[in-house]
Structure 1
Amino acid sequence: MTAYPVIRNLILSLTGTCNYACAYCYAACHPEERMPVDTALKATDMAGKNGQPFILQFTGGEPLLVFSVIQAVTEHVEAKGYPAIIQLQTNASLMTDGIAEYLKHHKIAVGVSLDGRPPVNDSLRKMKNGNSASEATIRGIRLLAAQKIPIGLTCVVTDANVKALPGIVQMAYYLGNVRQIGFDLLRCQGRGTALHPATPQDVAKAMEQCYALAQQLEKATGIHILFSQLEKIRKIVSGKACSFGQCYAMHGEEAYVTSDGKIYACSSLAGNPAFLLGNVWNGMDTERTKQAGLFIAEAMRACKECPHLSVCGGGCFTRWQGRNGKAEEECAMQQTFAKIYLSQGV
């Protein structure tokens, strides 16, 4: 078995264990054991051996529970000279001065999960020990800020927090080192099956409010914060990213590696045997990878036939899965940002 085609997005789920118990977590059923270093290095070599640039993201569970593996992989990438953009997605609660210094020195981009102002965030993101998730996360972000590390915020959107979303923009400016906000609409996998997606109308209104508030706060502070969805549209329209290019799984270019070394087409599809592509010891099965991509592409036919695709960039298969059609709230979000982009006169 060989990799098919070049891996552009390698995600290492270092552990399914987490010190949080978020209400919507789709990774709650992933293997809980910690990824051995040799498994992580084998996966990294699988992506790096082609010599092509790729994203390498550490995730979980909470990846800082396995910081020694992060160190081993990062230093392996540097020693091999792999052209990897290294990213960490974390709740930041386990951040220390030493970890922050390491992340800065090794130029690891940091994304932190936060879903709004503390009362809203704590209603969705809970610590297992009962303490405030917001307090622990903000403390971690402060340590990153002390090292002058810019971060991105990832905000999961459900019907429970959609009407309070401008709060995430307020938090971004309050924290001071946030440079990008990305909205991750609810995926109905794992614990997410117990929650409800926000309505398209509420999502559209919230996106408009968030953008307008960011514009106001930028004028007041001089700090410009990007929105991930809007930046994706800029890249698509400018030709720097192909339409639908954000779905690496559709093109067979994503390898999501669980802590036991199995490779799936996407993080939200881990554990689904239909999207099991192989393992780090034998590589990705060419035919299974191709068939998984074709299945996703066929399932997303509505996107390919949509007149807005050339600007919006398409939806996410894992949000549409099991929804009897398309995720209307995602279309609302994408089209709202497309309108914002077009209103800028570019």
Structure 2
Amino acid sequence: MVGPPFGKADIMHSQFTILSKSLFEQDGVRYRIAHNTKTQSFKAVSTELLSGCINRAQYDRLTLREQAFLADAGLRPLTNDERDHEVREVLDNQLKAGLNSQTVSMVIMPTSQCNLGCEYCGQQHSAGNMPNPIEDRVLRRLEHRISRSPGATEFRVSWFGGEPLLGIRSILRLSRRITEIAAEANLTWVSQMPTNGLLLSPKIAHTMYGDANLRFAEVTIDGPENIHDQSRPQKNSKPGTDYQSIVSNLAYICSNINKFKDLRLSVRVNVHEGNVDSIEDLLQDLADRGLNAPAVSLNIVPVYDWGTDTAVGKIDRKEFAEKQLVLLDYARTLHFRFSLFPRSLVGAVCTATDLDKEVIGTRGHVFTCTEQPLAPGLDPERSVGHVLSLDPKKPRPRGDYDDWVEAGINGGVSTCRRCPILPICGGACPKQWFDGNVPCPPWRYNMPERLDRIAPMGGLRATSE
């Protein structure tokens, strides 16, 4: 259990229950916030009731109503078998949810090019966009993928790169056919993409929204102007104007949101030693430019290795978890929107662990993981086939991580099986675990402090121990 210990407790509770770090008070009663990541419950539990969780004798003296309340909070006594069962239930439910999903999805790389040379990037870029014969085979795979999911109601395509917008001609050609295919199958369809934002001009934004059904875009900004332009410079160009162009592009969308009603933006900030002390300045500037608008969410994350030792100035994950809270507190004062508590994971943790999902590279190689296509030494060696030779009627061949639950979680490659955030994380990144890295997200280390931040919303005020 993450959070303050119960002294020498001799009974066990759900491993997915997390307690707030701080105590809170209301009307003379002291509380901690209890959050169960499996049931998604949030409960203010009095310290008096919590004392009943220390040993069985004290628990048995509680009333049935009190015991039921603790059960809802994930604080019912459990045997070892019951704790193992709840872990199996989490993993089984995630897999079943993936099988029963009403959304068909595919990742398509219209180009392997990128116009930036980020100092921490692990990709190896090359010139060229997706050839027409490859596009045709991609569409055939898409048609058959939809036919294997008669209960589906939506198709979602993720444009990936490199910088996807360098392949906008391919995106628009594919989008025209996808629109026809979706209509024939009676599906709605939407697209999303990560982008550096440099090419997301007002004209391109309207085109992508109207002709490619773009409904979500994540744009990376790594600090105020001088920091960003140094960390993410254009290739073969002197840094100096990229930040202003990117922020202006996003500000246009925010100020004309009536023309982009269904489009949501995420501003991703990759934090490393070189920019960690400048993020507050960035947030202030973005807020001044209107990027704290309702359509924008904030995603502050640490830089990490792609398994190629290219990440410059990585920050220790536990150290970053502390800094992230400081930055989020500041972002809240500027009225930015962000997710304080992730929702339960539904389906497979990522594309690499779901046979019905695949990543199609620019030259037609089929991968299972988005970090494989452009990583040096992995493209195309890590592909599971090619669209010109694979049977479009069948799912892709198995990849490195399709047995993630059995080999990665149950097999001990990761430490996820006994982790309190397993229901909302699922292991984060199988590739990272198999590469020998620990990809735990920041909330693995700062969930008790996150709970501290929601207590005042319910009228509770902090108090001392």
TM-score for both structures, normalised by structure 2: 0.61
Equivalences for 1:1-346 in 2 at 5 Å?
A: 8-27=104-123, 29-48=124-143, 49-50=146-147, 51=149, 52=152, 53-81=154-182, 82-106=187-211, 107-108=213-214, 109-128=216-235, 129-132=237-240, 133-148=242-257, 149=260, 150-177=264-291, 179-189=296-306, 193-218=310-335, 224-227=336-339, 230=340, 233=342, 235-236=343-344, 241-242=345-346, 245-270=348-373, 271=378, 275-281=382-388, 282-283=390-391, 288-289=397-398, 292-294=401-403, 298-300=407-409, 301-322=414-435, 324-327=436-439, 330-336=440-446, 339-340=449-450, 343-344=453-454
Equivalent pair of 1:115/1:157 in contact (CA under 8 Å): yes
Rounded to whole Å, the distance in 2 between the matches of 1:210 and 1:168 is: 11
Shift of 1:104: 3.2
Equivalent pair of 2:112/2:162 in contact (CA under 8 Å): yes
Answer 1 or 2: which has greater helix percent: 1
Shift of 1:286: 5.6
Larger Rg: 2
1:331–1:86 Cα change, 3 Å: closer
Shift of 1:124: 1.4
Rounded to whole Å, the distance in 2 between the matches of 1:334 and 1:146 is: 36
Amino acid at match of 1:65: L
Rounded to whole Å, the distance in 1 between the matches of 2:177 and 2:396 is: 30
Q: Deviations over 1:211-235 (max 9, x none)?
A: 21122122xxxxx5123xx46x2x2
RMSD: 3.3
Q: SS where residue 106 of structure 2 aligns?
A: strand
Shift of 1:30: 4.5
Rounded to whole Å, the distance in 2 between the matches of 1:62 and 1:212 is: 32
Equivalent pair of 1:116/1:171 in contact (CA under 8 Å): no
Q: Which moved more, 1:175-184 or 1:90-99?
A: 175-184
Equivalent pair of 2:307/2:432 in contact (CA under 8 Å): no
Equivalent pair of 1:200/1:333 in contact (CA under 8 Å): no
Shift of 1:277: 2.0
Q: SS where residue 129 of structure 2 aligns?
A: coil
What are structure 1's unaligned runs of at least 5 residues?
219-223
Q: Deviations over 1:97-140 (max 9, x none)?
A: 32122233244122212112222222310112113331232233
Q: SS where residue 179 of structure 2 aligns?
A: helix
Shift of 1:141: 2.1
1:97–1:343 Cα change, 3 Å: closer
**Residue matched to 2:54:** none
1:103–1:325 Cα change, 3 Å: closer
Alignment identity in percent?
18
**Residue matched to 1:221:** none
1:17–1:151 Cα change, 3 Å: same
Q: How many residues in Structure 1 have an aligned counterpart in Structure 2?
A: 325
Rounded to whole Å, the distance in 2 between the matches of 1:268 and 1:213 is: 32
Q: SS where residue 55 of structure 1 aligns?
A: strand
Equivalent pair of 2:365/2:386 in contact (CA under 8 Å): yes
Q: Deviations over 1:278-320 (max 9, x none)?
A: 2223258868426531158634531133233134443223444
1:147–1:331 Cα change, 3 Å: closer
1:104–1:39 Cα change, 3 Å: same
Amino acid at match of 1:76: R
Equivalent pair of 1:249/1:266 in contact (CA under 8 Å): yes
Amino acid at match of 1:12: I
**Residue matched to 2:82:** none
Rounded to whole Å, the distance in 2 between the matches of 1:344 and 1:121 is: 32
